[in-house]
Chain A
Amino acid sequence: MTDLNALDDEDFRLAVRRWLREAYPPELRNPPKRLHWRDNKVWYLKLAEKGWLAPGWPREHGGMGLSAAKQLIMLDEYERHGVARTNDHGIVMLGPLLIRYGTEAQKSRFLPKILSGEHIWCQGYSEPNAGSDLASVATTAVREGEDWVLNGQKTWTTLANDANWIFVLARTDRAAKKQEGISFFLVPMDAPGVTVRPIVNLDLHDEFCEVFFDTVRVPHDNLVGAVNQGWTMAKALLGFERVMIGSPKQSAYALGRLRLLAQRMGGWDDPVFQDRYTGLRLDLADHTSLYETYLEILRRGEMPGADASMLKLHQSELYQRITDTMLEIAAENAGLLEPMEGNRDLNPAGLFLQARPVTIYGGSNEIQRNILARTVLGLPG
């Protein structure tokens, strides 16, 4: 394989572009809703075959080990081509966590299967009574010989209806302080006692689910980190998640759609609109510069700090400001159920709705502001 890092930026860009033209299924460009595995599998497997699934993972673990600058180029080309998001929990969350905290056995058992598409992961953190207060998880895991037995319920589990594995925070010590009695488990979804119930979201899509655990047995080997060290795992993984949500991808996509919409609605040349649009563009450009510094941190194999909250806050709110603007200029089309004129690029209402939960998931923006204020800025608690 050619060393992509050795290519100059322009050649790298052209290589990515050429490959997307050859390999990306045209019918999957800019889908109006997040794709399920049955639809994006074909693309995931092509990425797998090419070795391009994990741009940020180190090469010794099967990643591309790409520099931050090149990852951004890749992202930019994906965005221009309208490449859809895949079932990426394994790539952006669990993989980096295992690379950092997994045993050698866990790494060699799970990483290759993420990269081959054999294991599709979902995130079993939230519960009905443990949302922002995640450390209150009530799902229990009780040791029985070499096994752990799980009971409880997770909810809002994105694409659990596609996944065959779930990573779960469960309480392993009820007597300890709540952060100190949690462990991190890897659970196959086909284990007896796991049930999934999809939930229809505001965009009328079955994108998240409830997951129930009724006496589910997993071996001790499926515990990551040490017993009762789950909170450390949970926070590390949330750090990766925040960098992932901080990717300029969503905002860049939305900004492109805002331009098309303004051109279609006839307000594009209006100087007031131009000023507003350029303001959003600059926000995106500055955001991308900030994001690049975090990609470098990840590439060096370091952990993003609590300040990654900034990235999540700014990206999610920029995305919402862009989609808010779309509704404001869309006239009556703001209320349509389907894309305008059957054109999936003109879908202001759909994008507006899809931008809503980004300020809720991955730790709500209120919680991120609390973290920023206390942990980063050092204000009293």
Chain B
Amino acid sequence: MSVAADRSENLRMIRDSAGAVVPPGDLRRVRALRSGAPGIDRDVWREMCAMGWPGLRLPEAEGGSGLGMAEFCALVEELGRGLVPEPLIQGAFAARLLRGEALEALLAGERIVLPAWQERAGAIAAGRDAALRDGRVTGRKLFVPMASCADAFLVTTHDGLALVRADAPGVSLEIAGTQDGGHFGTLSLDDAPAEAVAAATEDAVDEALDEAALALAAYLLGAMERSFALTLDYLCTRRQFGRPIGSFQALQHRAADLGIQIALTRASVESAAATLDSAGPAAPRAAAVSRAKARAATASMLVTRQAIQLHGAIGYTDEADIGLYLRKAMVLANLHGSAAEHRARYARLLPETDHD
């Protein structure tokens, strides 16, 4: 088989396996987990680890599957379709930076390690005001998704990465619920015992952050595609004035416009994944991620908002699943940088030159 055919076969298998672990059609599990701590199902997490998902991107020598961002994005997209709350994007982000025993425990599903990298709202780059001295870390980290399920946090500091156990002295976590039924944690570290993670350079952290941002875009892509599919179904089945509402031209045009935005998002996400999967200079790689994240953020908000409108009043009930997609987009659209932040970063990274 050719390399390309091999790869598309891989992608298909990954999508199928995702569907087997977390079937997208049924959101009862997702609903049942809403707004409780820890907000995830450990058994599902362990199953994801058994499938090798957090380590998908790692070389085989490190216990991973040696696959690329294209494959990881395809996987995450499937999770987005099912609004899966387990923090795979964050776990994979941590796995990129850990080594040795800590990595093994993460990949085996024994310990959940979540990155705590953010120090101000709206950030794209890692905050490094936290300090690591003599095996102790002090600082404050914001917006850690699903923080209460973490066994340990991977903390960016001025002095490199630090691994901090969630139950260590000096660690406190403040939880704020999010619209998707999950939560953000604010992590306060006051002279908390920590283990330095020496191997990871700042560049490696930046790259892992960009991979996570792109994965979020892929998750949003899956979620918006699914909400669009549900909406198209509804347009075909709901009848008013003796006809399916999808026969009204105003709604057909609306649907067509949403379809364009979804196609653009897919193209942008896949192109960014291919860019990250090939060797190249840092700026265009990061710019590709910003382009995809900016598109996914705006398109997902547009599509999920319109999905409500096109459903009419039933779309404004908590009972209807369609609203869960909007709630998810509200939480993820600005995570790892809003559309505006990413547009600004894109312009910084790839300034336009006069007539080239």
Report A's interface with B, CB cutoff 8 A.
126, 129, 131-133, 136, 155-156, 199-202, 204, 208, 265, 324, 327-338, 349, 352, 356-357, 359-361, 364-366, 369-370
Contact = CB atoms under 8 A, between A and B. Distances in A.
Contacts of B113: none
B338 A331 contact: yes
Of residues B180, B309, B316, B327, which shows the largest number of chain A Cβ atoms within 10 Å of its Cβ?
B316
A207 to B, nearest CB: 9
A126 B143 CA distance: 42
B178 A336 contact: yes
A66 B333 CA distance: 46
B247 interface: no
A356 B308 contact: yes
B227 to A, nearest CB: 14
Contacts of A352: 330
Contact of A330 (B176, B178, B334): B334
B339 A201 contact: no
B330 A199 contact: no
B354 interface: no
Contacts of B340: 328-329
- Nearest 3 CB-CB pairings of A with B: A335-B331, A331-B122, A337-B177
B334 A361 contact: no
B25 to A, nearest CB: 21
A332 B121 CA distance: 6
B234 interface: no
A179 to B, nearest CB: 12
A133 B339 CA distance: 38
Interface string B63-86: 000000000000000000000000
Contacts of A365: 309
A58 B317 CA distance: 38
Contacts of B134: none
Interface in B304-331: 305, 308-309, 312-313, 315-319, 323, 326-327, 330-331
B241 A327 contact: no
Contacts of B258: none
B318 A200 contact: yes
Nearest to A354: B316
Given A202-B323, A332-B142, 9 more contacts: A132-B245, A136-B241, A332-B143, A335-B330, A335-B333, A337-B35, A337-B178, A360-B315, A361-B313
Contacts of B333: 327, 334-335
B312 A364 contact: yes
A132 B250 CA distance: 14
Interface of B: 35, 121-122, 142-143, 176-180, 184, 239-242, 245, 248, 250-251, 301, 305, 308-309, 312-313, 315-319, 323, 326-327, 330-335, 338-340
Contacts of B334: 327-328, 330-332, 334-335
A366 B316 contact: no
Nearest to B298: A328
Contacts of A324: 301, 305
Contacts of A335: 178-180, 184, 327, 330-335
A336 B326 CA distance: 13
Contacts of A338: 176-177
10 contacts: A131-B240, A133-B240, A201-B317, A202-B327, A327-B330, A332-B184, A335-B178, A335-B180, A335-B332, A336-B177
Given A156-B313, A336-B179, A132 B241 contact: yes
Contacts of A337: 35, 176-179
A332 B122 contact: yes
A85 to B, nearest CB: 17
Given A335-B332, A337-B178, A366 B250 contact: yes
Given A335-B332, A360-B309, A369-B250, A199 B319 contact: yes
Nearest to A206: B318
B90 to A, nearest CB: 14
A201 B323 CA distance: 10
Contacts of A136: 240-241
Contacts of A202: 308, 315-318, 323, 326-327
A265 B121 contact: yes
Given A336-B176, A337-B178, A360 B335 contact: no
B301 A327 contact: yes
Of residues A338, A360, A365, A370, which shows the largest number of chain B Cβ atoms within 10 Å of its Cβ?
A360
B179 A357 contact: no
Contacts of A200: 317-319
B318 A204 contact: yes
A160 to B, nearest CB: 14
B250 A370 contact: yes
Given A265-B121, A332-B334, A370-B250, A201 B176 contact: no
